[in-house]
A = this chain, B = another copy of it.
Amino acid sequence: MTQTFDRTALFTLARDLLTGGGLPPEKAETVAELLIQTDEIGVTTHGISMVSYYLPELAKDLMTKEGTHAVLADNKVTLLWDGNYLPGHWVMTRALDTCMERAAEYGMAAMAIRRSHHIGCLSALTRIAADKGYVCYIATSDPSGQWVAPYGGCEPLLTPNPWAVGYPGRDHPVLIDTCASITTLSKVREHINSGTEFAHPWMLDGTGHATTDPTVINQTPKGSILPVGGADHGHKGFAMGLMVEMLTQALAGHGRVEAPTRWGANVFLQVMDPEAFGGREAFVAQVEHLNEACRNSRPIDAARPVRIPGDRAASAASRSTSGGIALPDEVLTRIRTCAAEAGLAFPDPL
């Protein structure tokens, strides 16, 4: 079940919760705006509901409230920042602005970021650059986490390692947002909370057997999430995971060597201007030619036509604009509790 809400009311609630948690107004507004944009594109696992995870981090000073990132290296087209565990949405907004400016000048730019706090929904970020005509790639890992085993091994050593790429299409951007593991830690926790199992063997128990049981991550020896490709061809997902750890930690010169124990995000961000290669018009023509061929191709199930990543986000964004933002019950329960604890009124549904 979902209920629908006015955008401004949700934004105000998110902002007030964050300022109530001690975040200065400018940072709170930036984070709240991106969380609401995330709900608008339908990724409600990473929208306003994240506030319930951020407030305890603010309370424990594990999410930095004041100050700014440090620029550790700036070579014009390559940069290295230290995010100082500041709110990831705020750090990424600045990182995107910088990389888009540089890409406009030099054709492309890339940045490695160490020690950001959680950066939220990747496609809400790549969408900002794609909407302005850029190709935007973001990968992130958390060097404090170990949830995915190397292919052929039993011990979890990597994070799920999400990566996303957004780029312009004819009507709306293509928004690829995926990760190097078959499923995410959120999905594992959802299954554990609801007492259900995965439909496919997407987990690995601590002795190396593929299983549908999400609780293996809480057992001893500790189980893990299988890499993309699973028991069958998981060397491909493992390779992808290694690549994300390299881009986000090795290029950042900070990661598992330092063995941080707090929730954090290492990030690799790259922005490219198609104008600096074969031109924007030619770029969009090629993208849309393939997209249309895919959308119009014969589906396996007539009721489920082929979709391009970003199509669903575009529909959700359009519904949110016309009819308000739909939030599911589990998000509402979580955020209502936050509001009650902060003594803030919860908006009425539309």
Known: A178-B239, A252-B277, A272-B78. A286 touches B257 (CB 8 A): yes
CA A252 – CA B278 in complex, angstroms?
A: 5
CA A300 – CA B282 in complex, angstroms?
A: 48
CA A228 – CA B232 in complex, angstroms?
A: 10
Q: 1/0 per residue A284-315: CB within 8 Å of B? A: 11110110011001111100111111000000
Residues of A in contact with B, size category: 35 or more
- Tell yes or no: A150 within 8 A of B by CB: yes
- Tell yes or no: A279 within 8 A of B by CB: yes
A200 contacts B286, CB within 8 Å?
no
Nearest CB in chain B: distance from A287 CB, A: 5
Segment touching B, from A2-10, A24-32, A69-77, A342-350:
A69-77
Known: A107-B75, A108-B77. A293 touches B157 (CB 8 A): yes
B274 contacts A251, CB within 8 Å?
yes
A293 contacts B256, CB within 8 Å?
yes
Segment touching B, from A11-19, A40-48, A242-250, A330-338:
A242-250
A276 contacts B75, CB within 8 Å?
yes
CB-based nearest B residue for A289: B257
* Extra contacts besides A178-B236, A221-B298, A253-B283 (4): CB < 8 Å: A80-B277, A245-B290, A252-B277, A257-B289
Interfacial residues, chain A to chain B (CB-CB below 8 A): 72-73, 75-80, 106-108, 110, 112, 114, 135, 149-155, 157-158, 165, 167, 174, 176, 178, 182, 200, 202, 208, 221, 228-230, 232-233, 235-237, 239-240, 242-243, 245-246, 249-257, 272-274, 276-279, 282-287, 289-290, 293-294, 297-301, 304-309
- CB<8 Å pairs between A and B, sample of 24: A73-B276, A77-B107, A77-B108, A78-B108, A78-B272, A150-B294, A151-B306, A153-B294, A153-B298, A157-B297, A167-B250, A174-B246, A178-B236, A202-B233, A208-B299, A228-B237, A242-B290, A245-B286, A245-B290, A250-B282, A250-B284, A251-B278, A254-B278, A256-B290
